[in-house]
Structure 1
Amino acid sequence: MAVDELDTRILRLLMEQPRTSVREYARILGIARGTLQARIDRLERDGVITGTGPFLSPGALGHPVLAFVHIEVTQGHLDEVGDALAAVPEIIEAFSITGGGDLLTRVAARDNGHLEDVIQQLINLPGVVRTRTEMALRERVAYRLLPLVESVGRSAGAQR
């Protein structure tokens, strides 16, 4: 799906001012409310916008320890293990990967002892061969998409 310069401006505004009304967005952008709503609907339909709502902090929820757990899986059991991970509330994300392991998970825990308990739970899942854990010390770049959105917008403008 092609994202043009107006889409980029819309996405930037949605990310920077998520609690603003559609009417106010249209006023800020200098476009008709119907045009804006049609653009937002298309961006949602095309999967560019995948959700709305608050971004939550695991640390503020009492889970300040962040770790990345690589999981090696017995051949043919990737889907089963992936499905089992969804039942572990401390798993924030899980991805199939190449390289050292089959799955990479992001885990939030209350403390190091809780993290060990979660890792033991993962080790005991049927199909899990071994795990390797890396602890996050400090977030250096927070999850972000705005630089990517702006790059896509610049590329769209340059192609004209």
Structure 2
Amino acid sequence: MYRSLDNVDRQLVALLETNARMPATELAKRAGLARSTIHERISRLERKGIILGYSAIVRKTDDTENTRALIYLNTTQKRSSHLLGVLESFPEIRSCFSTSGTCDLVCWAEFSHLEDLDALLDEIALLPTVERVESSVMLASKFEKDSIGATVRNASTLAVVGGQN
């Protein structure tokens, strides 16, 4: 569904899902664009049927929880601050960790649709310092722990070291 959207459109959708009443001036500030550009992009998202209403009803396939995935990156420059900035700008990426072992970075991401994961993987693969991209879709949550280490069964969010995201 979002394959045709660029990073700015996906960022706008994510911001509107978080707060559908966010003023255009705030959306423009967060996206680094003019307010008129934000209005044009939102109108186009409505015409495409991505945004179904001003209460930010974003089309989803059903009411199930979002798909979560781990994205594994091998890079040419392990400590590239530019790459980290680009990864941070993708609204779907919730966390990014440097790792030891077979990959340099692991990102945790969340999606409404598998097509969105596919589109993001394509974009990441084109980044200049990225040599290889792999992913693993999380099938089910067996258990998670909250920030104090208590087990939470059937939780809907991924526990991240030191707290929940």
The TM-score, its normalising length taken from structure 1, stands at 0.50
The structure carrying a bigger strand percent of its residues is: 2
Q: Which has the larger radius of gyration?
A: 1
Relative contact order, CA 8 A, sep 6+: which one is greater? Answer: 1
